[in-house]
Amino acid sequence: MATLIAIVEDDPDQRANYADAIVKKGYETATYASRAEALAGFDERIPDLAVLDIILGPEVDAGFQLCRELLARKPTLPVIFLTERINEIDKISGLRLGAWDYLPKPISLDYLAERIASLIRINDVRTSGEDSVSPTARRVGGLVLDQDALLVSWKGRRVDLSATEFRMLAKLVRNPGHAVSYETLMQSTMQSLVTHNTINTHMRNIRKKFEREDDEFAGIKSEYGFGYRWTVGG
């Protein structure tokens, strides 16, 4: 079955442009103009990745509601918010919901298609059922970072991070015991309009995911006003 990308966007021209760019990458698309249409479509088939606008017609938070619904059905689903709502509160809300990425409009169609392809490749590796680790994987104490698949394990247990969270963690553990500044962590996200609060949100999410696997995890320490430090292994 072909990989299905769902596009939920109420502007018909943007919706068609996104679909065209994604189809050229070899993916199947399902396009929806409203939250109600999308929910009906998801009842028929859950996509392999979803691209969501936040404002859909009169519903100003429809994309957030759809994200909750999708992740309740399939917690590992990659979700991308693609929106004109780029203020910090909205971005943090999207990340807390579990979105893999939060992209601002307008966007290059080539970039969008490549971003989707990258996330699909990562998710395919994660869901393949293979537990093998790349020989180039980085080991720091009980932590293993597989750069090829953006996979993380902690004390032998897998920790599912988004691509952005993985890049931040990789930057953090490069020099265990040394503080990493907010500015350095911002650069690792490869996103625009990143603030200290956004970094703090990412770090809270990373901690929570480690704590689900190890309730005594305490490897990430905050350096007040400066950034964060990885304190385990070396």
pLDDT computed for residue 89 by the predictor: 87
pLDDT computed for residue 33 by the predictor: 98
Q: Are 159 and 153 in contact (CB under 8 A)?
A: yes
Model pTM score: 0.73
pLDDT computed for residue 226 by the predictor: 96
Residues of the chain under the 70 pLDDT cut: 129-135, 192-193, 233-234
Distance CA 112, CA 3 (A): 16
pLDDT computed for residue 29 by the predictor: 98
**From edge to edge, which strands make up the β-sheet containing 138-140?**
138-140, 143-146, 151-154, 157-159
